[in-house]
Amino acid sequence: MQSQYSEYQSIEMSETFLDFRENFSPAEESSTQTAEELEPFRFHGYFEDCMEMYAPPQVVAEYLNAHHEWFRRCAQPMKAEPLGENGYALVIGRFGSFGYEVEPKIGLHLLPPEAGVYRIRTISIPDYVAPGYDVDFNAAMKLVEVNTDLVNENTQLMKEYPSTITRIEWQLDLAVFIKFPRFIHRLPKNLIQNTGDRLLAQIVRQVNRRLTQKVQEDFHTSLGLLLPQKIKRH
C-alpha cells in the first residue's frame, strides 16, 4: 500500500496480500453476503511523543491558540480545510493496492485548553459520508516548562538558548474501522489485523515526524528564535 504524497516514505503492504490477489478468481467474489454486512476491522494504536519549543509556555500557548494562522500551512502536503471556528477537515492521503484504495478524510476539533491540556477530537464533516471506513481520533497535549540549566551541560549552548524552554508532550489514542472487500476477508484475520496495525503505526510516525518539523520551524522562524538543534538546517 502506497501513499500518493511523495514527501512521505512509501508504505507497502505484505507481499502475502499481493500473492493472494494474483491467484484470486473474480467468480469467488460472488456471495449473498454484501460488503456492508461484513464486520469492519478495527485497527488501533496508542502513541506518544514530544517536541521542544525554545520559548516560555505562555508564548507557546499563544501560538497554539492561534492555530488558524499556521495549521493549514504546516499540514501540507496534507489538505486541510477550515471546519467551524476550531476544526479542520483533513485529507491524509490516498493508500491502496490491487484495486482497493482508501483516502482517509477526517474532521478534527481542536478544543480550547482546559487546565493547561489541549485536546483534539473527531468531529463529523458536513455533507460527507466516509466510504467504508471510520476514524476515532483522541489526542491530548500539555505544555511542560523545562529549565535548560538542568538538562544542558554545554555552557556555550546555555548562552545561546533561553533558560526556560517548553516541551509539548502529547498522547494519541487512534482507532480506524475499515470495511474491506470480501476477497480480503478470505485471508487469515490475524494477518489482516497485524498488517493493518503496523501500517497505522507507520502512517502516524511519518505524519508526526513531518508535522513536528514544520511546526517547530514555523514557530521559531515566525518569532525570530533559534531552532532546536535536532531540526536546525545545515
Match 470480501 to its residue by C-alpha cell. 182
Q: Are 51 and 216 in contact (CB under 8 A)?
A: yes
CB atoms within 10 A of CB 110: 22
Q: Are 167 and 51 in contact (CB under 8 A)?
A: yes
Residue-by-residue DSSP string for 152-217? ---HHHHHHS-SEEEEEEEEEEEEEEE---HHHHTS-HHHHHHHHHHHHHHHHHHHHHHHHHHHHH
Has residue 97 got a pLDDT over 80? no
| pLDDT score at 16 | 39
77-88 per-position pLDDT tens digit = 999 999 999 999
Q: Are 49 and 215 in contact (CB under 8 A)?
A: no
Calpha distance 7→9 (Å, rounded) = 7
| pLDDT score at 99 | 54
Q: Poorest-confidence range of 18-32, 116-130, 216-230?
A: 18-32
Calpha distance 213→27 (Å, rounded) = 48
- Report the pLDDT averaged over residues 98-107: 76
Give me the percent of the chain exceeding a pLDDT of 70.
Answer: 74
- So where are the chain's domains? 41-151+158-223
Reading phi first (left if > 0) and then psi (alpha if -120 to 50, else beta), residue 230 is in: alpha
Strand, coil or helix: 53 = strand
- Where helices occur in the chain by DSSP H, the ranges are 15-22, 57-65, 71-75, 148-151, 155-160, 182-185, 189-222
Superfamily of structural domain 41-151+158-223? START domain (3.30.530.20)
Grid cell at residue 187: 485471508
Grid cell at residue 218: 514555523
- Report the pLDDT averaged over residues 100-116: 89
Higher pLDDT: 30 or 139? It is 139
Q: What is the mean pLDDT of the chain?
A: 81
